C-alpha cells in the first residue's frame, strides 16, 4: 500500500521510518508539508505524474485532519486522495502522537491505509530496551559487553535518539575493533565539564554537590528530558534494590531479577541504603513524575522542571 500513516510518541523511530521511506523514493518528486495542508492541492499534485517521471510522493506532518471528527466532506476528499494513490503516487502521513481511534477519520485511516505505530519503551521494559540496543550495535557491525550496555542504558535511559547517536559515535571511535566495552562508553559518552558518570555517583549518594553538577550538565547542553529519564531509571532501580534487600532477598537473586551484575549490585546496595529510605525514593519518583507532567503540559520549562525536582530530592 502506497498510503501510510506513521504515528506514535517515539518521534525518533517515526522520523527514522520517514527517512527510510524517502530514501526508497529518492528519484521521485517530493512535497513535504508541516501542519496545515490543502488536500485538493495534494490531489492535484499527485494526479499529474508524467510518464517520464519515476513518481511523486507527499509527506504530511501533523496535518490538522488527524485531530478532526471526520465530517462527510473530509472523508470524501480522503476517498479521492486514496483513489489516486499508487506505487508512483505515494502518501505518508506523520504524527508524533497516538491516534484517537474514537474519531471517524482515524477509523477511515485504519480501514484504508497502512498504519505503523512507533511506541517507545517504558521504564519497566528494560529487557526490550536492552534487546533494541544490542540490535542497534549489530546494525553497525558491533557488539557490546554487558557492562557497556548497562552503562549506556544508565546514561541514556529510554531516549532512543540519544542511544542511537552514542552507538554511531562509538562505531567511529572503535576503529577496527568490533566489541564495545564499559571503558569505551566512559570515554565516548563523557562530555562537558562534568562527567555524566560522576553525576550518577552523586545521585547514588544524594549529595548536595549533585545540584551544582546537574546545573553544569545542563549548561553544557545535556537535554533535560534525557536527564529526567536517566534519574528516574536510577531511582526506580534504587527502590527495587532497597525493597528486595529489606525482604532479605540474596544479592545474587536481586541481581538476577533486575538484570544487573551481582558484584555491581552488592556494591550499590550499601551506598544507596546510606542515602535513601524507601519513603525517600517514593517521594523522589513522585517529584519527577510531577516534573514530567509540567514539561509535557508546558507548565514549566524542561530545565527548570528537572532542577526543581532534583533540589527537592536532595534537600527534603
Identify the weakest region by mean pLDDT among 12-16, 154-158, 217-221, 278-282: 154-158
Question: Are 232 and 309 contained in the same domain?
Answer: yes
Please identify, among 148, 164, 189, the residue that sits at the C-terminal boundary of a domain.
189
Query: Mean pLDDT highest for which of 156-165, 217-226, 279-288?
Result: 279-288
- The pLDDT assigned to 122 comes to 77
Q: Answer yes or no: do 155 and 258 share one domain.
A: no
Q: Are residues 137 and 222 in the same domain?
A: no
For residue 121, give the DSSP letter.
-
What pLDDT band is residue 175 in, cutting at 50, 70 and 90?
A: confident
pLDDT tier for residue 259 given thresholds of 50, 70 and 90: confident
* Confidence band, pLDDT 50/70/90 cuts, at residue 138: very high
Same domain, 172 and 198: no
How many domains in the chain?
3
Q: What pTM value is reported for the model?
A: 0.63
User: Which of 57, 82, 117 marks a domain boundary?
Assistant: 117
Please tell me whether residues 265 and 231 are part of one structural domain. yes
The residue among 168, 146, 156, 97 whose CA lies nearest residue 123 is 156
Domain range enclosing 294 = 194-316
The alpha helices in the chain, defined as continuous H runs, are 11-24, 39-47, 72-84, 104-112, 126-139, 146-156, 160-173, 182-188, 196-205, 209-219, 224-246, 251-258, 262-275, 278-297, 302-315
Amino acid at each position: 500500500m502506497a498510503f501510510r500513516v506513521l504515528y506514535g510518541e517515539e518521534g525518533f523511530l517515526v522520523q527514522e521510518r520517514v527517512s527510510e521511506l524517502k530514501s526508497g523514493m529518492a528519484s521521485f518528486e517530493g512535497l513535504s508539508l508541516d501542519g496545515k495542508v490543502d488536500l485538493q492541492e495534494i490531489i492535484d499534485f499527485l494526479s499529474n505524474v508524467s510518464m517520464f517521471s519515476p513518481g511523486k510522493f507527499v509527506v504530511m506532518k501533523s496535518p490538522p485532519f488527524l485531530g478532526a471528527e471526520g465530517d462527510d466532506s473530509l472523508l470524501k476528499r480522503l476517498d479521492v486522495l486514496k483513489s489516486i494513490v499508487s506505487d508512483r503516487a505515494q502518501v505518508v502521513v506523520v504524527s508524533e502522537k497516538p491516534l484517537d481511534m474514537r474519531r471517524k477519520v482515524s477509523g477511515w485511516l485504519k480501514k484504508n491505509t497502512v498504519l505503523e505505530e512507533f511506541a517507545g519503551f517504558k521504564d519497566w521494559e528494560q529487557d526490550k530496551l536492552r534487546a533494541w540496543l544490542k540490535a542497534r550495535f549489530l546494525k553497525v557491525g558491533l557488539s557490546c559487553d554487558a557492562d557497556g550496555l548497562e552503562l549506556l542504558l544508565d546514561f541514556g535511559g529510554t531516549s532512543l535518539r540519544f542511544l542511537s547517536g552514542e552507538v554511531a559515535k562509538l562505531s567511529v571511535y572503535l576503529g577496527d575493533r568490533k566489541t564495545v566495552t564499559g571503558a569505551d562508553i566512559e570515554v565516548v559518552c563523557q562530555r562537558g565539564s562534568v562527567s555524566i558518570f560522576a553525576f550518577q555517583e552523586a545521585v547514588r549518594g544524594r549529595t548536595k554537590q549533585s545540584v551544582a553538577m546537574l546545573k553544569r550538565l545542563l549548561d553544557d547542553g545535556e537535554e533535560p528530558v534525557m536527564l529526567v529519564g536517566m534519574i528516574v531509571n536510577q531511582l526506580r532501580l534504587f527502590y527495587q534494590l532497597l525493597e528486595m534487600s529489606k525482604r532479605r532477598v540474596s544479592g545474587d537473586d536481586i541481581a538476577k531479577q533486575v538484570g544487573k551484575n551481582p558484584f555491581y549490585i552488592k556494591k550499590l546496595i550499601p551506598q544507596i541504603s546510606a542515602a535513601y529510605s524507601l519513603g525517600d525514593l517514593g517521594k523522589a519518583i513522585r517529584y519527577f513524575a510531577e516534573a514530567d507532567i509540567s514539561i509535557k503540559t508546558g507548565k514549566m520549562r524542561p530545565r527548570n522542571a528537572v532542577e526543581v525536582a532534583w533540589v527537592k530530592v536532595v534537600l527534603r
